[in-house]
Amino acid sequence: MITDSQLNLQVYVTTSAEETQEVARNIARSIDRGCIIALTGDLGAGKTTFSKGLISELCVYEPQHIQSPTFIYLNTYPSNRGLVCHFDLYRLGDACAFEDLGFCDYLDGDHICLIEWPEIIESLLPKQTIRVNLSYISESQRRIEIERMI
């Protein structure tokens, strides 16, 4: 059983995409090789926006040069904390498809993984996975909940 004292929950309300990216950049500064981040939330909630902030901090890319891997499932970016793997599993069928594509290798603790639509591979995610949930409040406002083991 996980008790409250083992979980750290941070909640933010942002009022622009840039502010969401700034929250993500702060998270990027606190993570290391092997970290897995599961991003949940509806379409348009800001998962890709958050990912752009995090990747731009880790990999020194401009956010506008970071694209969602919507149709190819995975983009990778080199960083000095290992390869950063950005997954979008929205169109992927199930965990078997994830395994068949050889993606499990990326969860081996050597890479940083950001996973949009992680629900289908829930059973493959380690318990230390950082959980980020984004929800829509208004056109420019989002609520971001970040839950991590301490």
Separation CA 26–CA 61 (nearest Å): 16
Distance CA 20, CA 72 (A): 25
Contacts (Cβ under 8 Å, ≥6 apart) of 112: 31, 33, 34, 35, 36, 37, 58, 79, 81, 82, 83, 84, 85
Residue placing its CB nearer to ligand ADP in the complex, 32 or 139: 139
**Residue 118 engages ligand ADP in binding (rule: CB under 6 A):** no
Q: Are 126 and 36 in contact (CB under 8 A)?
A: yes
Which residue in the shown chain puts its C-beta closest to ligand ADP? 46
Closer residue to ligand ADP, CB minimum distance, 7 or 91: 91
Number of residues forming the site for Mg ion (CB under 5 A): 4
How far is it, in rounded angstroms, from Cα 64 to Cα 18? 12
Q: Does 41 bind ligand ADP (CB under 6 A)?
A: yes
Of residues 47 and 111, the one with the C-beta less far from ligand ADP = 47
Residue closer to Mg ion (CB basis): 57 or 116: 116
Binding flags for Mg ion, 74-103, as an x/- string (CB under 5 A): ------------------------------
Q: Which two tokens stand for residue 137?
A: 């409040």
Residues lying near Mg ion in the complex (CB under 5 A) are found at 47-48, 68, 116
